[in-house]
Amino acid sequence: MKKTILFLGVVMLSCSSFKYTRKAFFDQKPHEYQMNSDVKTLIYLCLERAVVNEKDIPDYSLIADKTHIYVHNVFYLENGGFVTPEELNSSPVVIEENDIPAQISGVKFCLKSKPELQDIANQSRQDFMYINFNLIIIDNEKAFIQVSNKWMVNQNSNTSYLSGGAYSCLFKKINGRWVFDKIAKMIIS
């Protein structure tokens, strides 16, 4: 019974129009983007891997509009030394508009705060998935980035989701360029 309800929910979601990405909500601001810092480069490489080239973020297939993807505008940054999320010493870092690309190979990105994402879900009356950079750790020539695919559920929804998830990507700096090394950990909700 639960599988049938989940299947029907996914079918209904995939067949519905994407009101949550219409222009009134998905309001990208024109901006100049340059990969001129380690953080910006790593964000770009993770977005490119997760939803453009490899499309391997957990439950990618459940993203209804794969050409318009919201990105949460906060993450945690630790410099030096790998730590667990429980050991974080830093405060949240706000991602600015020019920290993410507006588009990679036909996939557009729109940066929003959590309250803005909730307002979009409520106003559009649609639940949708968004990308969240949970943690970025840079330690000289190594980097650890945890990226998640989460549901934003509208206030009128009666649906509980057992999907989404996160993965942790490891990168190495080789000859001054960040290169993907491996997926260190994957969590599926």
pLDDT at residue 7, as a whole number: 44
**Is the model's pLDDT at 46 over the cut of 90?**
yes
Residue 89 has a CB neighbour count (10 Å cut-off) of: 9
Encoded tokens for 177: 């360029």
Q: Is 164 left (phi over 0), alpha (psi -120 to 50) or beta?
A: left
- SS3 category, 48: helix
- SS3 category, 97: helix
Which pTM does this prediction carry? 0.85
**Is the model's pLDDT at 30 over the cut of 90?**
no
pLDDT at residue 108, as a whole number: 96
| Mean pLDDT computed over 66-92 | 76
Q: Which H or E element spans position 134?
A: strand 128-139
Contacts for 65 with CB less than 8 Å, ≥ 6 apart: 18, 20, 21, 128
Choose the most confident range, by mean pLDDT, from 16-20, 30-34, 82-86, 109-113: 109-113
pLDDT at residue 85, as a whole number: 56
Torsion of the alpha carbons at 8, 166, 85 and 133, rounded to the nearest 10: -100
Choose the most confident range, by mean pLDDT, from 28-32, 124-128, 183-187: 124-128
